[in-house]
Amino acid sequence: MDTSVVFAGGWDDRAAELRADSATLAALLADGDAVMLPVWRGKPLIAGDERDRAGWLAPDSPVFDHARNTPLFLGFHGGKPHFAADISAWEPEGIDRAALAMFFDPSEHHHPDLPGDHRFAELRGSMTVLSPVDAAMAATARALFNWHRTHRFCSSCGTPSDWAMAGWQRQCPSCAAQHFPRTDPVVIMLVERGNRLLLGRSPGWPEGMYSALAGFVEPGESLEAAVRREVFEETGIRTGAVRYVASQPWPWPNSLMLGFLAEALSDAVTLDHELEDARWMTREELVDVLAGTHPQVRQPRAGAIAHFLLSGWLSGQIE
């Protein structure tokens, strides 16, 4: 079932054993079959009139003149070596600073050396139409580049650390400490009671947006315990049985969403400071929500695991 979750698709071979082999990677880059995906400030290059494919380019494209590090090696797919490069140093004309700070940034940017149908765009806007491989590789590149951006200093001694292992590590030139990409586990759960599910709304979300409850797993905590704690903290509701459903890598910024179904043992909602609202919704109401016809609650974004969980519950695949 989890194979249909966006970003959860894999590719042929990550070839992790080659990440330390700079000579082989250089040869692969020079290979005429090699392709590389540019990412600008978290936005991958998206191509096509329908925005339905990742913008893989030849490694010698002038777009990569803006890259600050050696390329990120993603591995092989379809017999071709795949790389990605962060070109955030490029300064396009007409940047909408306000859009960059929005919950969903709708702005797109065109590089003058590329065809007109190639744009740097928010991945969430095309994640459901990209192929599973393109979506997974773009999400992986986005997450890794974000980690490098936010972890530039050695956590052991404070020295600026270096890009290493083809982008999959950072290494301190002073104390030789090795640092590995961070992935934050997040539980996200459908809280069920009879014919109803509990949905919550965080402050600052777009009007009408509700979703499954979610929260970060704490140190020393099992996933099931995290589900029960988060539900109780946010809504005051105790839960009983907890069942794992599916997971989704989510590169905003570096999370692994772990989806669960939890049985509620009570009805009364007591909100804490994290949620602006929480409400029980019947199966019939959720049909309208997913159809986009509910008068108060907007349709959840397709591609997110919350949409996957809700639609699976409604169809009877999750029970």
Average pLDDT of the chain to the nearest whole number = 94
User: What is the arithmetic mean of pLDDT over 308-315?
Assistant: 94
pLDDT at position 2 is 42
Q: Lowest-pLDDT range, 84-88, 148-152, 314-318?
A: 314-318
Considering the segment(s) 184-315 as one domain, its CATH architecture is Alpha-Beta Complex (3.90)
Is it true that the peptide bond before 253 is cis, omega within 30 degrees of 0? yes
Q: Please state, in angstroms and rounded to a whole number, the distance separating the CA atoms of residues 13 and 24.
A: 16
Crossing angle of the two packed helices 283-291 and 305-315, in degrees rounded to 10: 130
Query: How many other C-beta atoms lie within 10 A of the C-beta of residue 277?
Result: 13
Which residue carries 């397709």 as its tokens? 302
Contact 76, 13 (CB under 8 A): yes
The residue extents of the domains of the chain are 2-150, 152-182, 184-315
Q: Is the pLDDT of residue 99 over 70?
A: no
Share of the chain above pLDDT 90, in %: 87
Yes or no: say if 188 and 257 are a contact pair by the CB < 8 Å rule: yes
Residue 81 has pLDDT above 50, yes or no: yes
97 vs 262: which has the higher pLDDT: 262
Strands 184-193 and 255-264: parallel
Distance CA 182, CA 216 (A): 13
pLDDT at 9: 84
Instruction: Enter the pTM of the model.
Output: 0.92
Within 13 Å and on the Cβ side, how many CA atoms surround 90?
A: 24
Give the model's pLDDT for residue 3. Answer: 47
The Cα 36–Cα 57 span in angstroms is 5
Q: pLDDT band at 97, cuts 50/70/90?
A: low
Q: For residue 102, is pLDDT > 70?
A: no
- Beta strands (DSSP E) in the chain are 35-40, 43-47, 53-54, 72-77, 80-86, 119-120, 162-164, 169-171, 178-179, 184-193, 196-201, 211-216, 239-250, 255-264, 277-282
pLDDT at 202 over 80: yes
* Reported confidence tier of residue 98, pLDDT bands at 50, 70, 90: low
Q: What is the DSSP secondary structure assignment for residue 31, as one 8-state letter?
A: S
- Please report the sign of the dihedral spanned by the C-alpha atoms of residue 293, residue 295, residue 300, residue 301: positive
| Three-state SS at 109 | strand
The set of residues, in sequence order, having a beta carbon less than 8 Å from that of 32 and lying 6+ positions away, is: none
**Within 13 Å of residue 52, how many CA atoms lie on the same side as its CB?**
3
Quick: pLDDT tens for 204-241.
Answer: 888 999 999 999 999 999 999 999 999 999 999 999 99
Amino acid at 245: V
Task: State the pLDDT at residue 133.
Answer: 96
Residue 101 has pLDDT above 80, yes or no: no
Q: Is the pLDDT of residue 100 over 70?
A: no
